[in-house]
Amino acid sequence: MGTKRQTSSGLPEQLSFGWGERGRAGHGPGSDAVSEAAGQVVEQVSTAEERIRALKQDLMEKVAEEVNLLEALRRVCANKGSAGVDGMDVTELKAWMSVRANREKLRDKLISGEYEPVPVRGVQIPKPGGKGVRQLGIPTVVDRLVQQALLQVLELIYDSTFSEGSYGFRPGRGAHDALRQASQYVANTASQRQAGIGAHRAIPSSRDDVERGLRPAGRRHAARRATQPTAGEHTAGRLGQGTGKARSPVLSVRRRL
């Protein structure tokens, strides 16, 4: 019985796997395929990141366009509101935006990503009925201008993807529109239900109802009288005598009619 050869590490030769073999094992055809696939993944990720970066750049350029900023200024001034932590109100904002250097500085910060909003000013207002207070955060007028400029660009992209039944914070829609639509839904449902009840009542419940509906009124009354059993027939039925004879005239009358 022969002995198995051992390596310098003390392990059998079949279990030996040195660093040299490890280095050589990673350079086969399969390793090349894995490296190529990994390179493709990295390239795809880089391409996706570039597209996202380009999209953000394109969107921010639209936000920072002078026409868009001036429209945002108009809406912020129309909404009025209190000043933020810097104390600037909408009147001062209008004067600040009238200086071209200020508009260009704001635009450059937005495009380069250097623009940073200022902390909001905390204000507490009493709730209706004296049930505590509500905490509000008031941004500066410049921040409100930037928010409005962003909204004007993003709204054109995303509003068309919203549900037709969505009414919250959408242009030209509000809570009153939602209430009117809900009332219309209730009215339509009620009318459909009434129509269904009327149709159900108009449908005969049995074959006899169909036959009675097709008979003239006089024949219907005659058939009703002919089908009503007499006292003797009831008695015979209870005693178990002549039960078939008592019902035969009824069936014959129905067949004749």
| pLDDT digits (tens), the chain, 257 positions | 555 555 555 555 544 444 444 444 445 555 666 666 666 666 666 677 777 777 777 889 999 999 999 999 999 999 999 999 999 999 999 999 999 999 999 999 999 999 999 999 999 999 988 889 999 999 999 999 999 999 999 998 888 888 888 888 888 888 888 899 888 888 888 777 777 666 556 555 555 554 555 455 555 555 555 555 555 444 444 444 444 444 444 444 444 44
CB hemisphere CA count around 70 (13 angstroms): 7
Q: What is the pLDDT of residue 43?
A: 65
Q: What is the pLDDT of residue 207?
A: 54
Q: What is the pLDDT of residue 5?
A: 55
Q: What is the pLDDT of residue 124?
A: 92
Altogether, the residues listed in the chain come to a count of 257
Q: What is the pLDDT of residue 187?
A: 85
CA–CA gap between residue 143 and residue 12 (Å, rounded)? 73
Q: What is the pLDDT of residue 240?
A: 43
Place of tokens 């990141």: 49
CA–CA gap between residue 89 and residue 181 (Å, rounded)? 38
List the alpha helices (DSSP H) in the chain: 19-25, 29-63, 66-79, 90-97, 100-112, 141-158, 175-202, 207-214, 217-227, 231-239, 243-256
The H or E element containing residue 8 is: none
